[in-house]
Amino acid sequence: MDDLSDFDETDLRIVEQLRRNGRATHQQIAKALNLVPTTVSARIRRMEESGTLRVVAVSDFAVHGYHVLIHIGVEVSGRSPADVAEDLAQFQEVFAAYLVTGRYEVSILLALPNIEDLSQFIAKKFSKVEGIRSITQSIGLDIIKYGLDGREGAQ
């Protein structure tokens, strides 16, 4: 299995059940899909071993005291974007770091307790990372969607 297009209908149905409830047991998934638990177990194991499925837990930002989401586009100069992204990804406040195409080479999703912490974060942490030419910040005002649910049939 190289990608989602290699999933058959049963694999997709199992993944959808896990999207809805990542804590569902193999028995619960099997019952919901009219399968036997050993089939569900074997298919999940095969998808995990091939690297096409990874079950993870993602907690709510606010539960951990983070109430502000900030997107930061980073223009890089004098260093590889991958090295800059790796350095930025080390900060606890960085929820996600991506190499991207377009105006910026690196895209960061930053979670902070409050907006007042942004200037200190940039001054004390971002400014220490070599290779950053410029940054542009966008503050998340409201979360419209968080997660992958509702993607039935998407491939």
The domain defined by 4-49 folds into: Arc Repressor Mutant, subunit A (1.10.10)
Residue 131 pLDDT: 96
State the Cα–Cα distance between residues 86 and 95, nearest whole angstrom: 13
Question: What tens digit of pLDDT does each residue of 26-61 get?
Answer: 999 999 999 999 999 999 999 888 888 877 766 666
Ranges in the chain annotated CATH 1.10.10.10: 4-49
Residue 21 pLDDT: 82
Q: How confident is the model at residue 155 (pLDDT cuts 50, 70, 90)?
A: very low
Specify the CATH number for 62-140; select among 3.30.70.920, 1.10.3720.10, 3.30.70.330, 3.40.350.10: 3.30.70.920
pTM confidence score: 0.59
User: CB of 7 within 8 A of CB of 44?
Assistant: no
How are strands ordered across the β-sheet holding 68-76? 94-99, 106-112, 68-76, 132-140
State the Cα–Cα distance between residues 117 and 76, nearest whole angstrom: 23
Question: What tens digit of pLDDT does each residue of 67-109 get?
Answer: 788 999 999 999 999 999 999 999 988 989 999 999 999 999 9
User: CB of 7 within 8 A of CB of 1?
Assistant: yes
Q: How far is CA 47 from CA 3, 123, 125, in A?
A: 10, 43, 38
Ranges in the chain annotated CATH 3.30.70.920: 62-140
